[in-house]
Amino acid sequence: MKTIRTVLGNKKIEDNDYPVALIQLREILDAHRSKLINRLLADLPTYIDYKFNTKVNSKQVEDIKEKLSFLKNSSVDMDKYGFIFQNAMSQETTYVATEPFYKEIDDNISGYLNESQLKLVK
């Protein structure tokens, strides 16, 4: 058994069956990202102001929440997070950092903000 440490606590995955371990890790990563997104959704305007130095109106907040909810409900891309799986299979305990997940979340928010700013210019 391998131990995966996330914001949700310690989780165990099977280490003797590669496909099962991959599925278990994906579920853990999905829950990890979901938890991070839920935390942001609680006070999204403040996060956007802090991270992007941008004020958003209520329509933009709702649009971004919708985008983040879609991300939260989708499965993590194992091509993007495969390095975590490799670490998990090569070590007894793996700590899953929040940074790559926040980067994905920020990229989604940034994409929306850039898109909405382009619409204002047209």
In this predicted structure, what is the pLDDT of residue 119?
54
Strand blocks (E) in the chain: 2-6, 9-13, 93-95
Q: What is the pLDDT of residues 40-55, one digit of tens each?
A: 999 999 999 999 999 9
> For residues 85 and 109, what is the distance between their CA atoms, to the nearest angstrom?
26
Q: What is the model's pTM? A: 0.88
Measured CA to CA, the distance from residue 37 to residue 9 in angstroms comes to 17
Backbone angles phi, psi at 121, to 5 degrees: -75, -35
Please give the residue range of the domain that contains residue 28: 2-121
Q: How many domains does the chain have?
A: 1
Tokens 């929306």 belong to: 112
Give strand pairing partners of 9.
6
